[in-house]
Chain A
Amino acid sequence: MATLQARSHLLKEEQSLGRWMLAPAVIYIAALVGFPFLLAIYYSLSDATVGSQVLHFVGFKNYQRIFENSTFWTSLRNALVFTLVSQLLVVILGKVLAMALYKDFRGKWVVRFLILLPWVAPISLGSIGWLWIFDPVYSVINWAGRASGVFGDNFWPIWLGQPDLAMASVIMVDVWRLLPLATVIILAGLSSIPQDIHDAAQVDGAGFWRHLTHINIPLVMPIMLVALLFGIVFTFTDMIVIYVLTRGGPYDTTQVIASYAYFTGIQGGDLAEGAAISLFLFPVLVAVAIFLLTLARRTEVT
């Protein structure tokens, strides 16, 4: 009887200790993520500006204004194109690279170091490197192309100045910076497949293509989806690459939601409209997260 009481007392003590240890972090997150989020929603329904002292509730006026603004729709479309194309590339290339890194070989640690560089370097600084590589006059790509004869005499791409090329260039930089993360994650997934399964498939007579499509990819799929999810979140909400490389230009062809929200809200001073624009990130993210996590759970294997 006494032990039962003592045990439940201990349990309660532990539970309360648990809550105390957890509380600071939870409170901090609620205060610095939850509260501003609600504030953003409130701003989007108000007429807040950077300088205003008083806020008035204006209903959905901001949203109306955004919907009538063609730049907004361009940004949305750009953001979706940017994210989908770059993440598709990242996942496919990441899979290829993960397969290449699967086997041990001499000097693997050097390769791993090099391959991680894009992910590790601060995003803005890496982007500046590409800014120089894409320079309209001094681009090393153009120089090499001209010197090797691959580029004709009239072919001098302005990587960041021509509308479609600008989007392609920005996509390339995003792929460049997210490839390491996807590769490392997918490699972890590949390594978690027991060698026995590969052996069994060999003995069962699976050729290389069947092995890949029937064994390899299905078993790595949950992890690939996780990598895809992170990649989509990082890319869709990103403004850094675009800010550094093109500032959204030329003529808004690389403007995305996040950068547009910044230019409207902070540079332009219209906090309310900026908030409304930025909130369009949220539903897309939630939808993607739910979709991918459900898929991952469904293909769960062990």
Chain B
Amino acid sequence: MATPLGKPSDKAVRPESPGPVRVAVKCGVCVVALLGFVVPATTFLARLASIRILPATQSVEELIRGSIMQRLKNIGGRIGHFGIVAAFAAFCAFPFYWMLITTFKQTNDLINVKNNPFLYNSPPTLENLRTLFIDTQYAQWLLNTLGVGVLVVLITLLLAVPAGYSLARLTGRWGQQLAIGIFLTYLIPPTILFIPFSRIISDLGLQDSLWSLVLVYPSFTVPFCTWLMMGFFKTVPRDIEEAAMIDGLTRFGAFLKVVVPISSAGILTVIIFTLTLVMQEFVYALTFITSSSQLTVSIGVPTFLVRGDVYFWGSLMGACLIVSIPIAILYNFFVDRFVAGFTVGAVK
């Protein structure tokens, strides 16, 4: 088992399997500790909601009106709110911040236990990034991932867009049932399917080839994207299609020439979502592919950037960051639609 610098397994003592009571007690303690944060925070936020402390758009004059008590409450409320939001944002973003710092640190700086890791004790360097791109196949992995991504997007669009339209417009009652059925395929996750797939892929001769991924990935992108597109198509007014059909187009023609262009935002969402799913996928890639030149980023980085027992942390962090940030930026534009896709079924 590959271990990072210093061997943790030496320090671990083989325990007897802890009884369920002990496990429960430990969980309970942790939960209570966390509630010590959650309960005050929730109470505080609920108070914010019900007392009319208005948001940041409230003018300064209104903020300082009233008695001293009112003023204190208002300003205290604002500070507390900021505190809670900042705490969460810090928790979520810290690992990336840490990745950012580590990427540019010189290795001797990293290894020196005496150094303050938050400072650049030696000047920042691009050496790690250079190593990443020149000494590893990272660039190849990026290309692989992108290539697979593009192809999977195409397949997904070809399958999910017409299917979504059909479920939205053309299939009535049984279509609704089928739609739910399609969504429920998510209950059969890759971690069940990867075992039979490993045989199927090797029997098809696609072992160790990126094409295996292109074949298999749509199995989890198509269901959700069909659902997304169905929801999206339902919001297109029927009048527009009917006008097109009166103007001489067939139903399919109206679909191609009118509905699809109008739904470009939904299609874009599907594209982005599919791309992110491809970039994130791990289990199938781990199972099907072994040679280093055929890896995707998601697999290559954890398995190949480790040489024996030594991790090249600087390059490793850089590798993680380079992929994460662009996806994050892209994703932000489409979150709302994505969430609508998630919730459209349950909240009716």
Chain A interface (Cβ within 8 Å of chain B)?
13-15, 17-19, 21-22, 24-26, 28-29, 32-33, 36-37, 39-40, 43, 48, 50, 70, 74, 77, 81, 85, 88-89, 92-93, 95-97, 99-106, 109, 111-118, 120-133, 135-138, 140, 143, 147, 158, 160-164, 168, 176, 179-180, 184-185, 188-189, 192, 198, 201-202, 206-209, 211-212, 216, 222-223, 225-226, 230, 233, 237-240, 243-244, 247, 249-251, 253, 257-258, 261-262, 265-266, 271, 274-275, 278-279, 281-282, 285-286, 289, 293, 296, 300, 302
Complex: A89 Cα to B91 Cα, angstroms? 14
- A121 and B320 form a contact (CB under 8 A): yes
* Complex contacts, B175 vs chain A, CB 8 Å: 18, 22
CB distance from A222 to the nearest CB of B (A): 6
- A22 and B98 form a contact (CB under 8 A): no
Among the 9-residue stretches B37-45, B61-69, B128-136, B261-269, the one with 4 or more Cβ atoms under 8 Å from chain A is B37-45
Binding site secondary structure of chain A = helix
- A208 and B88 form a contact (CB under 8 A): no
- B170 and A15 form a contact (CB under 8 A): yes
Complex: A135 Cα to B89 Cα, angstroms? 23
Q: Could you say which of B17, B50, B185 has the most chain A C-beta atoms within 10 Å of its C-beta? A: B50
Beyond known contacts A257-B191, A258-B191: 19 more, CB 8 A cutoff: A17-B166, A22-B167, A29-B223, A99-B42, A117-B93, A120-B331, A121-B320, A129-B98, A131-B4, A135-B4, A137-B5, A158-B12, A160-B8, A208-B47, A212-B43, A223-B346, A237-B190, A262-B283, A278-B191
Which residue on chain A has the smallest CB distance to residue B81? A100
- B196 and A275 form a contact (CB under 8 A): yes
- B196 and A100 form a contact (CB under 8 A): no
* Complex contacts, B316 vs chain A, CB 8 Å: 128, 132
* Complex contacts, A163 vs chain B, CB 8 Å: 12, 15, 18
* Complex contacts, A85 vs chain B, CB 8 Å: 27, 30-31
A-B pairs with the 6 shortest C-beta distances?
Answer: A161-B8, A18-B170, A25-B163, A121-B324, A21-B162, A39-B196
Complex: A66 Cα to B244 Cα, angstroms? 61
Q: Is B34 located at the chain interface by the 8 A CB criterion?
A: yes
Q: A161-B12, A285-B187 are in contact. Are A39 and B324 (CB under 8 A)?
A: no
* Complex contacts, A211 vs chain B, CB 8 Å: 46, 49-50
Which residue on chain A has the smallest CB distance to residue B54? A103
Complex: A101 Cα to B195 Cα, angstroms? 42
- B45 and A100 form a contact (CB under 8 A): yes
CB distance from B231 to the nearest CB of A (A): 13
CB contacts under 8 Å to A, within B73-110, are 81, 84-85, 88-89, 91-93, 95-96, 98-99, 102, 110
Complex: A198 Cα to B20 Cα, angstroms? 43
* Complex contacts, B186 vs chain A, CB 8 Å: 233
- B301 and A251 form a contact (CB under 8 A): no
Q: Is B158 located at the chain interface by the 8 A CB criterion?
A: yes
How many A-B pairs fall under 8 Å by CB? 384
Q: Is B282 located at the chain interface by the 8 A CB criterion?
A: yes
Q: How many residues of B sit at the interface, in one of the four size bands? A: 35 or more
Q: Is B328 located at the chain interface by the 8 A CB criterion?
A: yes
Complex: A212 Cα to B111 Cα, angstroms? 50
* Complex contacts, B236 vs chain A, CB 8 Å: none
- B222 and A25 form a contact (CB under 8 A): yes
- A282 and B283 form a contact (CB under 8 A): no
Q: A104-B55, A132-B102, A147-B116 are in contact. Are A37 and B283 (CB under 8 A)?
A: no
Complex: A95 Cα to B279 Cα, angstroms? 28
Complex: A24 Cα to B102 Cα, angstroms? 47
- A122 and B323 form a contact (CB under 8 A): yes
- B11 and A158 form a contact (CB under 8 A): yes
- B95 and A126 form a contact (CB under 8 A): yes
- A278 and B195 form a contact (CB under 8 A): yes
Contact of B8 among A112, A189, A250, A302 (CB under 8 A): A250
* Complex contacts, B36 vs chain A, CB 8 Å: none
- A212 and B342 form a contact (CB under 8 A): no
Q: C-beta contact mask, B296-316 vs A, less than 8 Å → 1, else 0?
A: 011101100000000101001
- B8 and A136 form a contact (CB under 8 A): yes
Which residue on chain B has the smallest CB distance to residue A237? B189
* Complex contacts, A136 vs chain B, CB 8 Å: 4-8, 11
Complex: A99 Cα to B279 Cα, angstroms? 31
- A282 and B158 form a contact (CB under 8 A): no
Q: Is B204 located at the chain interface by the 8 A CB criterion?
A: no
Complex: A126 Cα to B116 Cα, angstroms? 23
* Complex contacts, A243 vs chain B, CB 8 Å: 282, 286, 302
- A105 and B88 form a contact (CB under 8 A): no
* Complex contacts, B196 vs chain A, CB 8 Å: 36-37, 39-40, 43, 275
- B218 and A28 form a contact (CB under 8 A): yes
Q: A39-B196, A126-B320 are in contact. Are A25 and B226 (CB under 8 A)?
A: yes
CB distance from B27 to the nearest CB of A (A): 6
- B348 and A300 form a contact (CB under 8 A): yes
Q: Is B9 located at the chain interface by the 8 A CB criterion?
A: yes
Complex: A104 Cα to B23 Cα, angstroms? 41
Q: Is B165 located at the chain interface by the 8 A CB criterion?
A: yes
Complex: A160 Cα to B6 Cα, angstroms? 12
* Complex contacts, B342 vs chain A, CB 8 Å: 185, 226, 230
